[in-house]
Amino acid sequence: MDNSLSKMLMSLLAVFGLFVTVQSTAGRFERSINRPFGSVLRVHNGMRWGSWGLKEMCPNDMYAAGFSLKVAGLWESLLVGDNTALNGIRLHCIDTSTSSSGPYEDYATVQSDTGSWGKWTDIKWCSGGFLTSFQLKVEPYQGGWDDTAANNIRFNCSGNAETLQGSGMSWGKWGDWSEMCQGRGICGIETMVEAPQGVGDDTALNDVHLFCCD
Ligand SMILES: *[C@@H]1O[C@H](CO)[C@@H](O)[C@H](O)[C@H]1NC(C)=O
């Protein structure tokens, strides 16, 4: 093939590839503000820097079957000179009428507050069912050293007794599991995120509440 033609084809492919990637890692951002929920899942090892963000609920009749994380990696932390580890959590919600199993292509995304650092990781999907409980990995207070607070999260799925572990960072310890959802599954999220501290020590995401719907 002529060289310039093949270059053009390559860049077209690159642009198309980028489009597909952006589409497939975010879904459509759509949320329901006032969807009623049955219970709230909490854990006890979250840290307390920051404030609770807005509650975001999956659209009506949709439940979370997957999640992705916003994570500041080692390289970024080195460049910034401050490690924040976990910065955000997205729930990817599917319709109850969906008959296939994960990974899904048609979904809505909700996320509450997120920190300013890191990149979104790939989505982890339940092979069947919905997210029903979670466990948080949190680094305790480091004294005068660099704090990171929450580092990673795990979810259990209702379908095939699966546990999904996020691609977060590894500092800290796993806490106890939350309770299991009453009702069908997780349908909303609220995160506690510390605002940027300027020259001070940033921690970004500190804690999360997950909402369950019938
Ligand atoms: C989640 O699954 C793990 C096994 O992978 C189990 O040990 C844990 O108790 C489960 N959590 C809940 C809340 O059911």
Distances (CA, A) of 160 to 56, 67, 131, 164: 26, 17, 11, 11
- Which of 163, 176, 179, 182 for a ligand 1 pocket mutation test, highest count of atoms within 8 Å of Cβ? 163
List, chain by chain if needed, residues with CB within 6 Å of any ligand 1 atom: 133, 156, 163, 177, 180
pLDDT at 2: 52
- The share of the chain scoring above pLDDT 70, in percent, equals 88
What is the C-alpha R_g of the chain?
18
Confidence of residue 166 (pLDDT cuts 50, 70, 90): very high
pTM for this one? Answer: 0.86
Residue 155 has pLDDT above 80, yes or no: yes
Residue 21 has pLDDT above 90, yes or no: no
Token pair in block for residue 167: 């691609």
Contact, 110 vs 57, CB < 8 A?
Answer: yes
Mean pLDDT of 1-24: 48
- Say how far apart CA 207 and CA 192 lie, in whole Å: 5
Residue 24 has pLDDT above 50, yes or no: no
Residue 7 has pLDDT above 60, yes or no: no
> Minimal CA–CA distance to 86: which of 154, 30, 178, 160?
154
Largest Cα separation within the chain, whole Å, is 63
- Which of 127, 153, 156 for a ligand 1 pocket mutation test, highest count of atoms within 8 Å of Cβ? 156
Domain boundaries of the chain, sorted by first residue: 1-30, 31-213
Burial class (CB within 10 angstroms; exposed 0-12, middle 13-18, buried 19+) of 98: middle
pLDDT at 23: 42
Centre of ligand 1 to C-alpha 177, Å, is: 7
pLDDT tens digits, one per residue of 79-110: 989 899 999 999 999 998 888 888 999 999 99
User: Which CATH number, 3.40.50.2000, 3.40.50.720, 2.100.10.20, 3.60.21.10, labels domain 31-213?
Assistant: 2.100.10.20
Q: Considering Cα of 73, then 75, then 80, then 82, what sign does the dihedral take?
A: positive
Strand partners, 209: 190
Contact, 51 vs 94, CB < 8 A?
Answer: no
* C-alpha triplet 31, 34, 40: angle, nearest 5°: 90
Token pair in block for residue 177: 């599991």
pLDDT tens digits, one per residue of 40-73: 999 999 999 999 999 999 999 999 999 999 999 9
Average pLDDT for the chain: 89
Confidence of residue 32 (pLDDT cuts 50, 70, 90): confident
CB neighbours of residue 2 within 10 Å: 7
Contact, 93 vs 59, CB < 8 A?
Answer: yes
